[in-house]
């Protein structure tokens, strides 16, 4: 299969997002990894390091990706048009408990692309990764299992690992699901938090975090069924409240 066919296989919005990258060489290496594996959409948050000539030198043939970079002031801005997002992070830097392996991310995205319109993969800063506030903006966390804690991968290497793993998405045509709604997960998460507030348990941070991270793992049918269940719960609570007044 040629690179052109790979590139044409992913017929949806799927950018890789680099948050505040400091080294132009890492941006160039990321672009080269993307090009090699058939990805073409790169977004940069709060950094102009990609304009340094060193980025283009390391990109080596992936200059078109650098030419078409989209820049954003914040991660929230970069994710504004994204239905489902995955962030890479070191486990020690996040309060969430569940971390998908690259293989599990591939499985999740192959399913999600049947019913969401856009997906994104987010990479953090070279020295400090993503903040907890930024991690809370994504749907799923992932990390690369390593033999020991010390030699961590640099940004370019991490991008290559995920581009290689997720290149399957470029090779498989996405099935078209009926009545696809990319906002299902976001709406479901909001309804859960509204229910927690109504039950006066919204201060249970562990429960809130568990909901946030597990919702991102739901398939379309599971999401639809939970929406139905929450509708019934909300109706019952409303009926009880009306009966008391």
pLDDT mean over 170-195: 67
Show me where the domains of the chain are located: 3-171, 184-244
Q: What pairs with residue 140 in β-bridges?
A: 86
CA–CA dist 193, 72 (Å, integer): 28
Q: What is 69-127 written as a DSSP string?
A: -EEESSHHHHTTT-SEEEEE--GGG-S-S--B-HHHHHHHHHHHTTT-SBEEEEE-BTT
Over the chain, what is the mean pLDDT? 83
Q: Is this structure's pTM higher than 0.85?
A: no
| CATH code assigned to 3-171 | 3.40.1280.10
Considering only residues 142 and 187, tell me which one the structure prediction assigns the higher pLDDT: 142
- Report residue 209: phi and psi, to 5°: -65, -40
Q: Which pLDDT tens digit goes with each residue over 128-157?
A: 899 989 998 999 999 888 776 555 679 999
35-46 tens-digit pLDDT: 999 999 999 999
């Amino acid at each position: 299969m040629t690179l052109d066919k790979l590139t044409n296989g992913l017929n949806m919005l799927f950018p890789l997002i680099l948050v505040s990258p400091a080294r132009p060489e890492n941006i160039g290496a990321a672009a080269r990894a993307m090009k090699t594996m058939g990805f073409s959409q790169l977004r940069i948050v709060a950094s102009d390091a990609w304009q340094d000539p060193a980025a283009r030198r390391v990109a080596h043939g992936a200059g078109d990706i650098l030419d078409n970079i989209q820049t954003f002031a914040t991660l929230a801005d970069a994710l504004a048009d994204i239905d489902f997002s995955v962030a890479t992070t070191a486990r020690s830097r996040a309060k969430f408990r569940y971390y998908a392996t690259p293989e599990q991310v591939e499985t999740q995205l192959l399913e999600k692309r049947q019913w969401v319109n856009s997906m994104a993969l987010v990479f953090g800063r070279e020295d400090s990764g993503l903040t907890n506030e930024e991690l809370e903006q994504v749907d799923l966390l992932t990390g690369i299992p390593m033999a020991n804690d010390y030699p961590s991968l640099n940004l370019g290497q991490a991008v290559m690992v995920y581009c290689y793993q997720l290149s399957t998405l470029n090779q498989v045509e996405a099935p078209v699901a009926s009545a696809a709604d990319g906002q299902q997960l976001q709406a479901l998460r909001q309804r859960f938090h509204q229910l927690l507030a109504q039950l006066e348990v919204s201060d249970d941070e562990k429960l809130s975090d568990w909901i946030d991270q597990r919702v991102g793992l739901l398939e379309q049918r599971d999401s639809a069924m939970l929406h139905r269940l929450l509708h019934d719960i909300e109706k019952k609570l409303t009926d009880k409240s009306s009966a008391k007044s």
